[in-house]
Chains A and B, each alone.
Chain A
Amino acid sequence: MNFLKKVTLQVLPKAEAHLSLGNNSAIHTSSVCCRVQSGRYRITVKRDRPLTYEMANPPHFIGHRKSWNSWNTSTLKDALRPSQTAIEDVFIRKFITGTWHALVCSEIIIKRQHNTIRIAAIIRQAIAQRKMYFLIGYTEELLSYWMQCPVTLEFQTVADKKDVVFKYI
């Protein structure tokens, strides 16, 4: 205990000096960097940016005004392979937006039940039905090969891109 007393006696004056210095320059002048921007859209000058319902509601409304785009049990507590599921979902989204190029009007909804994956989206009626049927089969086949489980596409089609627009900002 004696040596502790010595240490405190030596250290304390220095610490006090530091503290007093810190008190002198207490105003924080750098810019605020805690701005939250993801999933939020800026208002344009002409108010002509089209937003879907999903885009119109920022992320903190998930579960209140809008629901999740990925439905699976991996996000539950102590569930298995959460990271793999998330990576697979990202891959599925990228693959579908690329395969159905400029046709996907909404977010891609991925629902997993047991070992099946059901993918839903809203597609524009810009290509012929035959091509659409081909793409459905192609996507299902390739995805089920990569994911090693049955994949079903459940698409809804709209005649025009503007059908999914919820509001303009």
Chain B
Amino acid sequence: MTTNLVRLLECNIRNSKATVAQRTMRVFSSQQEQSSVEDDEEFRVLNLRTIKQQARRRVIKKDAVPPPRTTHMPVDQDWSAVWSGPRSFHPASVPLPLRQGYTERGAAAPSKYANAELMKIPNFLHLTPPAIRQQCEAIKKFCTPWPKGLESEATWKAIFPVEVITTDYCHSLPTIRHPEARRVTITLNLVDLKFDAHAKDKFLRLVGERYNQETGVLTFTADRCPTRKQNYDYALYLLTACYHESFVTEPWEASKSEADMEVYLFERNKAKLSAEAILNWNVNGEKQAPSATYAESVEKLINEGENEYNIAKYKEEVLKMLKIAN
């Protein structure tokens, strides 16, 4: 219908005067604008093809963005209520004129607004001194006083000789488990255990590498069980078992010959017999035994080797034993 009309109009324009055309156009094409166009000074636009008028873009109503919260903050506010926990930096909540970033030629560093660098770095705004004080006050009721009599390290080391070392791992994973957390290490000084000579020798043979000869510290490490508790129990079991086993004398231990000895012992050797024979020459009554210092000097001479000091000591002891004036 409209196309026909337009065609008809076009014919009219070509054939008749412009005024007529205007009038007809007014009738057919732009009826609604008729009244307003009447007294308009400007030329009107001839909309022959009746192009569909573009729909006006809908203006999206945007709510006004409120100013940053820092503008209304009172000076004496409770900061721990504003920033209660760990959180990425937010410029509208932190009333500090912070800047971060590298700029060349002495320009000012980027401000805190829309600054991703400030959001990246971990901040401690939730751990201000008043906040820490507040939290300490809150958890104080769960604390118990330090036990009496354990004031110094020496006292508690004497009472608790066994030291248990475990490691807890804090990491950023969905799981809180860490395979290394099961490892338990027990240390104690060898002097804290009571031994006789045989038991000590056997204990040191049983523990082997776990004993540090230089420091005298015994270390048991257990990591073969899946949990820490099991490993702790196992380490304590190892210590207990080794200690009690060292007091057991097996029947075959008596068959240890001189060739099996790892150190020279004065008591078991010919040197003792010789010394006794010399001391008890032509003595019928009470037998005389060589002195302990002589025994020690002989043992040192053979175990540690012949050095200047050992030989001098041995000479001194021999002279003393034979009662020869030097």
Contact = CB atoms under 8 A, between A and B. Distances in A.
Contact of A74 (B120, B172, B176): B172
Contacts of A67: 117, 120-121
Contact of B174 (A106, A111, A149, A166): A149
A96 to B, nearest CB: 14
A157 B178 CA distance: 38
A53 B90 contact: no
B89 to A, nearest CB: 8
Contact of B88 (A65, A85, A120): A120
A127 to B, nearest CB: 10
Contacts of A71: 120, 122, 172
Interface string A102-117: 0001110101111100
Interface in B136-177: 170-176
A64 B101 CA distance: 10
Contacts of A112: 172-173
B116 A81 contact: no
Interface in B231-278: none
A154 B90 contact: yes
A133 B62 CA distance: 15
B63 A128 contact: yes
Q: Which of the listed residues A65, A72, A73, A80 has the most CB atoms from chain B within 10 Å of its own CB? A: A80
Interface residues of A, number: 45
Contacts of B170: 73, 114
Nearest to B104: A167
A129 B65 CA distance: 10
Interface in B95-123: 101-102, 110, 113-117, 119-122
Contacts of A164: 114, 116
A118 B90 CA distance: 13
B106 to A, nearest CB: 15
Contacts of B173: 73-74, 80-81, 85, 112, 115
A158 B116 contact: no
A64 to B, nearest CB: 8
A74 B175 CA distance: 12
Given A118-B88, A128-B63, A166-B110, A66 B174 contact: no
Contacts of A111: 88, 122
Given A53-B117, A85-B173, A118-B88, 13 more contacts: A69-B120, A71-B122, A72-B172, A106-B116, A111-B122, A115-B173, A115-B174, A120-B119, A122-B116, A156-B90, A158-B113, A159-B65, A166-B110
Interface of A: 52-54, 57, 61, 64-69, 71-74, 79-81, 85, 105-107, 109, 111-115, 118, 120, 122, 125, 128-129, 147-149, 154, 156-159, 163-164, 166
When A and B form their complex, which 7 residue pairs have the shortest distance between CB atoms, in order from nearest? Answer: A112-B172, A154-B88, A120-B88, A65-B102, A73-B171, A72-B172, A106-B116
